[in-house]
Structure 1
């Protein structure tokens, strides 16, 4: 079946795009549109062309199968110019999600009619690009400047109603696309719908609009898109040339490389060795522990439509857990995710009790109790006696050995680690930790659960901290070393926030709770090698009872939403320097970032080398979706590829002159450099 088909209804030619699943603007669609318009221009029977799409959406964007491939002619800019120059008016009917190239096709037509429920947007900036087929030039000629700039630089879609009010749509109707297209074509024929050639309209972006956006624009991606939109002040042909120049520049940018890598990471991590195993049915869930994490996990399950039984150890904690979940659901109502009726129906699926026997028939149980091996072993011993055969028994541990937990049961094949990130009903990452005896069906079922919960699941092997926290534990030491050697912690935070992190590492620790890291350090103290430098500043902070935001003081002092530097921290640092004979030195922001990233990359490489992560891209996904890694860098190992692996090795060797124990070049990293390969080469090898 052709990707583009034409049907005649009197003087209206109905041109249908049919390229499942999302009618992407691939080469077959582009060729089909060009051929259809050229043929219809020569057909005297036709007075109006009505363009629409089959399926659930109009063109939803580019064809991702063409990403990274040599360009195929005709390219979309040429298609759009042919549509715009058509001697016969083209009315375009839009439904579903009309995004990117799909909206640019619509902008090139002479009229646009939406079907209710439609969303329209130009999301190219999310891939480090900008609209490259006239979007930055034609949109400002149809809508007022601030609306155009917002759509072009933010990538956020707008509703059909907003598009109609802005003038992007000429009409909004109910109905199926084919019928609406015929009706719209007839409206053009009888004069009820007036075509407009975008090229003949005046640009509506003002100098004030540009100044307002420049004042709040951050990053090269948004700035480049803003420059393209500014070019809409030129004659259309000149503006299109400038847009294309900037688009080509964006295609070669590091930001595009990183954002494209991040885009594909979400899909790549679903390819696991257990993919062909038969996943079990999951209808009901249980959670043990009603604290922040347990309540968040229960909320995520409820929002996915699963009845949930939550177990608390004490009667007094049952009401607290229910209240926490209720507040979580209230938050979903405020965010527009649920209405009041849906909230009540969702809450009705929750059972809170102290009776563990209530878990006898659930399909999956997730334990989220205190991070203690003794406590978890006790819980799993009871679950082994209570739960039905075939139930998934999962632990939400952040660090502990899943194999040891599974060892107390008679069914280690059903035991798995499901490491959620707080708040569990919001954060997208789920580390699926596979034990030595975990059955393939259990892994496949856990990935099925992740999809049901709308999480990005990443497979991990068993080690202390798994993928994310193992790497975090290593690179976090680099910040402590820099602090002890003279870099104020607030400078470290600021430098890394400028690099792209939403929060610096010390602010993150305050947010998570300083007591969590302190407990881990105390647990690991007896195993700490004599050669390892140990920085005591954070311990001094915790000894004062300063655990961060929850206590009002940590590295920072908190007053509502405001924070200020805790001056005592600098005193602790200076006292430790004097005790250890260290002379403080200064660090540039660039050096802070280089050291931090070298430490992160080195441990990430070891995680891949040890086969804890399947591929480098799995590490990148963990940090993108669970640790706030700057998306435009694509993840720590994509950052390493962009920076150059030889450069990373050189930095580590340089830092090793100060501390040869901490700074060691991973064998995998050195092997890749010697072979002239990258981490992305390993991703391609699978």
Structure 2
């Protein structure tokens, strides 16, 4: 059926009104679409020739949910989805939801308000609201447990995950699977409902489908979620709503309670932060001056140079997406170890039930190993993931420039080095960019794409599109030391060492940062990443004259590395390790005290948790403003995506730049100046960035 340009297309087939949502690309439930659905339902109800209604989505999906932009006002304009569902429930004509693609959030709630639901076999359904800091606000917490039981309702609504149509049918979320044409089958289902003479099923009239240990079930499900994000308000509200539904109250009272909880969440800081990240992630892929119609280069086979931890992770990223990979390592034994490590990872996943034997066989079948650079000649994209050393990377890329076919893309996985210098070594700089994966590469969502001075538009556009194909969120960075994330990390780690030399302990610092919401404290993070790796980068930068003329700069990490305290892999770093468990080590405090004495750094016993957080986080934010001014990052939201997706910054604060806005830029600037006075700041570490000062002046 051709779209009419109206929000809802209305046709009648075999005495069934077919209402097709026509709001591409996701049929989001904007006010105009909601109003059109309500009007179309009234038309169907008043049409004597219509005996039933089918509600379906046009385009790629049934309905992707609410129009999130409306949340900014703090209220939902009428008619809301609850009004539409009430209208369907009181009709004396059956309403059938015909689901294809996805039914998410408000879209799934709309479907649950229909009398019956039928879906294509590849359709998916779920409630992603918790990821935006809210809950289903149109009866999702009240109807779902009545249909499928409290266990699955908690799982779906607390996790935000979606399930396939087959599971949805088995669990009672939908009523039928389409075996032929979805619309034809939906009309047939609607007509059978008309002819059966049975009362029309209404989810809100079903008894609550609970369990004998309801309270324990809700508590256990909530505790599991809060272990990851203990301060998250949305999961707590979801649990309250489901518990309220289970308490035996009238269904209408449950809807009122749910709506009150929804509106409170929608206006709080956590939801605003998560919505900021939602939109920032979508904006990040929009690159100014990148032609929208640029022809993408095909990527059907990928080459990876280096079979170490990073190379293996990158290889699995592509294998998991069904893309053939050639893994190259010059040393045959190292290559074999790399291949076996990939196989072992997949075997472990199979043993845990996370993939089938067929999936394992298929993915390993896509992997080809080699010790010969000539085997890169049929690859469309080759990523070097060798040792973080400029000379080595230049040599590798020079070789790739010789053996890769014309049009092949060459990428460097460097985390700090100059991409333009590496690109020039290839002899074909327009084909080169940075693809900075985060470890473990097959798990971490972030891919920092570094655009070189000569990177061709088609190369950049191709890699951005490829990132979506392999399930990564991307941010494009300009060329500088450390790009966006690692450049900002440097100031964070600088203050870490200074605080340790002043008298704070690793455990105290980690606890303070983890209480803020960081996924891992800086000392644990450094021990896991490898102190020696970081110290080696510092030594190279020192040799280049790129470090401040400050003998105390990152002095502790370099001292620990020189002593062989390389982190978790060595059994000692900032901590001592029993297996993988970090244990406080008094020797670290002695080393820090000795360094402080040598460097003339006063020891203190008045360091507070608040100072620890300010000393580490505010310089990091300040560096973000410098990065924005230089054009290394295109938008503040890009920086927020890098830090929340790649460095464990708490998403509930929206990322460092959003957090700074929430604190107040004037307050951030004032506190930096205070810290500068407190520390003496001979090297300008706390001097507010010019761009920050201008922003403060503009808002004064």
For the pair 1:4 / 2:8, whether they are aligned, the reply is: yes
Range with bigger deviation, 459-468 or 321-330:
321-330
Q: Identify the residue that residue 375 of structure 1 maps to in structure 2.
A: 392
Q: Identify the residue that residue 61 of structure 2 maps to in structure 1.
A: 57
Match of 1:224 among 217, 237, 247: 237
1:471 Cα deviation after fit: 0.7
For the pair 1:269 / 2:309, whether they are aligned, the reply is: no
Structure-1 separation of matches of 2:306 and 2:372: 12
Q: Identify the residue that residue 301 of structure 2 maps to in structure 1.
A: 284
1:44-98 residue CA offsets vs partner (Å, 9 max, x unmatched): 4444434333444322212356564785432222222222232434333434322
Q: Identify the residue that residue 641 of structure 1 maps to in structure 2.
A: 661
Q: Identify the residue that residue 155 of structure 2 maps to in structure 1.
A: 150
Q: Identify the residue that residue 439 of structure 1 maps to in structure 2.
A: 456
Q: Would the aligned equivalents of 1:297 and 1:425 in 2 still touch at CA under 8 Å?
A: yes
Structure-1 separation of matches of 2:123 and 2:466: 30
Number of equivalenced pairs = 677
Distance 1:183 1:424, change over 3 A: same
Distance 1:192 1:470, change over 3 A: farther
5+ residue gaps, structure 1 = 678-686
Distance 1:544 1:99, change over 3 A: same
Q: Would the aligned equivalents of 2:93 and 2:194 in 1 still touch at CA under 8 Å?
A: no
1:443-592 to structure 2, matched below 5 A, reads 443-526=460-543, 527=545, 528-531=547-550, 533-560=552-579, 562-579=581-598, 580=600, 582-592=602-612
1:82-97 to structure 2, matched below 5 A, reads 82-97=87-102
Q: Identify the residue that residue 671 of structure 1 maps to in structure 2.
A: 694
Q: Would the aligned equivalents of 2:593 and 2:603 in 1 still touch at CA under 8 Å?
A: no
Q: Would the aligned equivalents of 1:274 and 1:441 in 2 still touch at CA under 8 Å?
A: no
Q: Identify the residue that residue 325 of structure 2 maps to in structure 1.
A: 308
Q: Identify the residue that residue 186 of structure 1 maps to in structure 2.
A: 191
Distance 1:260 1:627, change over 3 A: same
For the pair 1:595 / 2:615, whether they are aligned, the reply is: yes
Structure-2 separation of matches of 1:304 and 1:212: 34
Q: Identify the residue that residue 110 of structure 1 maps to in structure 2.
A: 115
Residue aligned with 2:644, SS? helix
Range with bigger deviation, 258-267 or 225-234:
225-234
For the pair 1:42 / 2:46, whether they are aligned, the reply is: yes
1:319 Cα deviation after fit: 1.8
Match of 2:628 among 608, 611, 617: 608
Range with bigger deviation, 245-254 or 461-470:
245-254
1:388-399 to structure 2, matched below 5 A, reads 388-399=405-416
Structure-1 separation of matches of 2:62 and 2:509: 47
Structure-2 separation of matches of 1:562 and 1:37: 61
Q: Would the aligned equivalents of 2:104 and 2:125 in 1 still touch at CA under 8 Å?
A: yes
1:321-360 residue CA offsets vs partner (Å, 9 max, x unmatched): 3323333454665677764445434434433222223333
5+ residue gaps, structure 2 = none
1:290-439 to structure 2, matched below 5 A, reads 290-330=307-347, 339-439=356-456
For the pair 1:237 / 2:252, whether they are aligned, the reply is: yes
1:468-510 residue CA offsets vs partner (Å, 9 max, x unmatched): 1111111122222222223221122122222222211111112
Structure-1 separation of matches of 2:304 and 2:105: 42
Match of 1:140 among 140, 145, 150: 145
Q: Identify the residue that residue 620 of structure 1 maps to in structure 2.
A: 640
1:249 Cα deviation after fit: 1.7
Q: Identify the residue that residue 684 of structure 1 maps to in structure 2.
A: none
Structure-1 separation of matches of 2:688 and 2:551: 16
Distance 1:582 1:192, change over 3 A: farther
Q: Identify the residue that residue 105 of structure 2 maps to in structure 1.
A: 100
Distance 1:161 1:645, change over 3 A: same
Structure-1 separation of matches of 2:163 and 2:295: 40
Range with bigger deviation, 457-466 or 542-551:
542-551
Residue aligned with 1:394, SS? strand
Distance 1:480 1:324, change over 3 A: same
1:397-451 residue CA offsets vs partner (Å, 9 max, x unmatched): 1111222223334333333222222222332222222223333333333324433
Structure-2 separation of matches of 1:111 and 1:351: 49
Residue aligned with 2:677, SS? coil
Please, what is the CA RMSD of the aligned residues?
A: 2.9
Q: Would the aligned equivalents of 1:390 and 1:414 in 2 still touch at CA under 8 Å?
A: yes
Structure-1 separation of matches of 2:387 and 2:532: 13
For the pair 1:630 / 2:643, whether they are aligned, the reply is: no
Residue aligned with 1:656, SS? helix
Range with bigger deviation, 505-514 or 53-62:
53-62
Residue aligned with 2:678, SS? coil
Q: Would the aligned equivalents of 2:124 and 2:162 in 1 still touch at CA under 8 Å?
A: yes
Q: Identify the residue that residue 258 of structure 1 maps to in structure 2.
A: 273
Q: Identify the residue that residue 261 of structure 2 maps to in structure 1.
A: 246
Structure-2 separation of matches of 1:666 and 1:331: 48
Structure-1 separation of matches of 2:36 and 2:319: 46
1:566-615 residue CA offsets vs partner (Å, 9 max, x unmatched): 33223323333454352322433333323322122011111111211122
Structure-2 separation of matches of 1:177 and 1:618: 40
Structure-2 separation of matches of 1:551 and 1:468: 26
Distance 1:209 1:392, change over 3 A: closer
Residue aligned with 2:35, SS? helix
Residue aligned with 2:449, SS? strand
Range with bigger deviation, 584-593 or 162-171:
162-171
1:366 Cα deviation after fit: 1.8
Distance 1:285 1:92, change over 3 A: closer
Distance 1:53 1:75, change over 3 A: same
Residue aligned with 1:407, SS? helix
1:221-241 residue CA offsets vs partner (Å, 9 max, x unmatched): 211233333443443333323
Structure-1 separation of matches of 2:375 and 2:145: 60
Distance 1:39 1:375, change over 3 A: closer
Residue aligned with 2:200, SS? coil
1:376 Cα deviation after fit: 2.0
Residue aligned with 1:657, SS? helix
Distance 1:357 1:629, change over 3 A: same
